[in-house]
Amino acid sequence: MLNKSVNVWQKAGIVGLFALGSSSVFASTMLQSGDFVGYSFWLISMALAASTIFFLMEALRMGGKWATSLTVSALVTFIAAFHYMYMREVWVSTGTSPTDFRYIDWLLTVPLLMIEFYLILAAIAKVSGGIFWRLLIGTLVMLVPGYMGEAGYLNVTVGFVIGMLGWFYILYEIFAGEASKVAASQATPAVQKSYNLMKWTVTIGWAIYPIGYFLGYMAGGTDQGTLNIVYNLADVLNKIAFGLFIWYAANEDTAAKA
């Protein structure tokens, strides 16, 4: 029964994506040739939409304990695909892309990405809910002051420093805290591999955002076009590859049980 209703929701999601994708393409302002920032917005929106379909189909195929992690991966790419289509439209019609827009996406997608650490461990071991809550709180401490700093509600440096502390706290949890201990002692080799890839994505892939903040607000400003291309391409790693790392563990685990 549960599986059946999950099935219906996933199919509805896939149909919805086709509708969204096509309406967004037909209603959009014309992309000028040579607009590389615009190209990068198109590229990432389409890659995210396609990844969503893939993750949903694979969640359907594998089912069981992995359905949740794969569906959450699909939610991340779905929210971002929608969001990027909007940002792309704003860029193409105005030639600007306020960073504020990204925070709306981050507020939803970053906590979901964090929850994935809990979910992949929960799929193979007994884990405490504390992991879930600590990672969620770390995310909010990182994003809320960061936004307040960028939007002028908080001193730029104070927002940056508090946000960095939130990020370091997340890194501590996944490198040395309870989550890392569960991963090291109870996870299967495939889950360990994907846990490590996810952990390094949060370290290296995510560093692009505080660097962008620092360069943009504390070191005299950056070229907005370049910054947007870098942010757009970074999401191939931070959202799509991150989901594929989870898919890898799910696929290995499912194949081992078949």
Q: Does 84 bind ligand RET (CB under 6 A)?
A: no
In this chain, which stretch among 87-95, 204-212, 221-229, 250-258 interacts with ligand RET, using CB under 6 A? 204-212
Q: How far apart are CA 233 and CA 104, in angstroms?
A: 18
Q: Does 179 bind ligand RET (CB under 6 A)?
A: no
In this chain, which stretch among 49-57, 102-110, 171-179, 218-226 interacts with ligand RET, using CB under 6 A? 102-110
Q: How far apart are the first and last CA of the chain?
A: 22
Torsion of CA 27, 30, 34, 37, to 10 degrees: -40
In this chain, which stretch among 21-29, 39-47, 207-215, 243-251 interacts with ligand RET, using CB under 6 A? 207-215
In this chain, which stretch among 31-39, 66-74, 216-224, 235-243 interacts with ligand RET, using CB under 6 A? 235-243
Residue by residue, DSSP assigns 40-65 as HHHHHHHHHHHHHHHHHHHHHHH-TT
DSSP strands (E only) in the chain: none
Q: In this complex, which beta carbon is closest to ligand RET, that of residue 128 or of residue 201?
A: 201
Q: Does 164 bind ligand RET (CB under 6 A)?
A: yes
Q: How far apart are CA 229 and CA 234, in angstroms?
A: 8
Task: Choose which of 47, 67, 92, 143 interacts with ligand RET (CB under 6 A).
Answer: 143
Rounded to 5 degrees, φ, ψ at 97 are -150, 90
Binding site for ligand RET (CB under 6 A): 106, 109-110, 113, 142-143, 146, 160, 163-164, 167, 206, 209-210, 213, 235, 238-239
